Amino acid sequence: MSIGDRVELGVLTVSGFLLGILTAAFLLVRIGSFPFPITALIAGVVNVLILKIAETYTKSAWQYAPLIAWTFVTAMAMLPVFGNGSLIGDWRLLLLLACGLALPAFYASTARIRNLTQS
């Protein structure tokens, strides 16, 4: 892995971190009185795209660094804010974690199976 690849993987990791902040911040969006957690689906799709880009730079475990950064930020949203309770404490955070991790996990597992069958 060259220096340029490492820099680009670092940029992807920062983008995963920023994606975590944005998806957690806009998770509480409502349309009228109905909760509309569209950022959960957006997180899943964008995490898959970031994972696809990261695997072009490396086939090692470092390709999961953006996903780990996103998971870290999302897990921090579960922690209490100033001792008053969690930032997001309902089903939408679980949906965000499920979509944001399940879609990339499915993509990674199918990509590994494709690589094994092609070799």
Residue 86's pLDDT is what?
A: 63
How is residue 41 written in tokens? 């689906």
Centroid of chain to Cα 87: 18
Range with lowest mean pLDDT among 27-31, 46-50, 62-66: 27-31
In the chain, where are the structural domains located? 3-112
Sequence letter at residue 108: A
Q: Encode pLDDT of 50-102 as tens digits.
A: 999 999 998 888 999 999 999 999 888 887 767 666 666 678 888 999 999 99
Residue 28's pLDDT is what?
A: 84
Residue 15 neighbours by CB under 8 Å, 6+ apart: 50, 66
- Cα(10)–Cα(4) distance, integer angstroms: 10
Residue 72's pLDDT is what?
A: 94
